[in-house]
Amino acid sequence: MTSRKKLILLTVLIILFLIVGCKKQKEVDFKPASIISSSENLSTVSSLNEEILISDFIDVSKKSIVMTYDGGYYPLEFDGTLYSEKEGVNFKNTDGDKLYENVVGIINSLPKRSVMDVYHESKNLIKDNKVMVIYIDGWGWHQYQYLKENYQELYLSKIKGFEKALTVYKPVTNSGYAAMITGQPPYINGILNRDFREVKVETIFQYIEKINKRAVLI
């Protein structure tokens, strides 16, 4: 085989390899979306050419939250369809208008609380009181329930007044903490995941400084 033929064959093989690789990559990169309640997964769109009407699974007269992979956090109180398109799942209303792209989930039967309440309640209390917020990283509702059932003698198990709270997407330290100190979801405060560090809105610390009070983060 001549050098030219070898080169052409090698080039063709490389191109075929890249095409196959791209197809596999697209399959891996598809981002599913789920409809969930506060306690269970109700349905999931997990592949192309799927769609589900959300009212088949939840009471759409009750407020839900649509969360997206880019940190979106949107109230929802009407019916619509989750449908797959390209690498992800979008949401359209019953008129067919696409409202949200790259949906990660719709949460129904919401807790009364959100982690963003930490900012708003601290802001109200700090005017006339000293406020301490203890942030326990990685501590979730299921861990608390497990602790109460299995380790009743521990201090945390005996504290009254715990309430379930809705977090944000992506549920990692940076995003959750930023939501607590800004009162805003990731698509507004700018902290979408662990790769983002610069907050785009006012934090509780900046507010405290603005009203001539002091804050310490330990």
In a domain? residue 13:
no
Domain identity same for 160 and 189: yes
pLDDT (0 to 100) of residue 112: 93
Domain identity same for 40 and 85: yes
In a domain? residue 84:
yes
pLDDT (0 to 100) of residue 197: 87
Domain identity same for 154 and 192: yes
Final residue of a structural domain among 85, 107, 129: 107
In a domain? residue 22:
no
pLDDT (0 to 100) of residue 39: 82
Domain identity same for 154 and 118: yes
Domain identity same for 124 and 206: yes
Environment class of residue 123 by beta-carbon count within 10 Å: exposed (0-12), middle (13-18) or buried (19+)? middle
- The set of residues, in sequence order, having a beta carbon less than 8 Å from that of 52 and lying 6+ positions away, is 35, 43, 45, 81, 82, 83
- pTM score: 0.80
Q: How many domains does the chain have?
A: 2
In a domain? residue 86:
yes
- The set of residues, in sequence order, having a beta carbon less than 8 Å from that of 177 and lying 6+ positions away, is 135, 137, 191
pLDDT (0 to 100) of residue 21: 47
Domain identity same for 177 and 163: yes
Q: What residue numbers bound the domain in which 97 lies?
A: 33-107
Domain identity same for 145 and 79: no
In a domain? residue 15:
no
pLDDT (0 to 100) of residue 139: 86
Domain identity same for 149 and 92: no
In a domain? residue 131:
yes
Domain identity same for 61 and 81: yes
pLDDT (0 to 100) of residue 138: 85
Q: What is the mean pLDDT of each run of 10 residues along the chain (218 residues)?
A: 47 43 55 92 94 96 96 96 94 97 96 96 93 90 93 92 93 95 97 92 96 92
In a domain? residue 19:
no
Domain identity same for 143 and 162: yes
Round the CA-based radius of gyration of the chain to a whole number and report it: 23
Domain identity same for 117 and 203: yes
pLDDT (0 to 100) of residue 120: 97
Going by C-alpha positions, the residue among 77, 84, 123 that lies closest to residue 101 is: 84
> Whole-angstrom Cα distance, residue 159 to residue 174?
26
Final residue of a structural domain among 55, 83, 107: 107
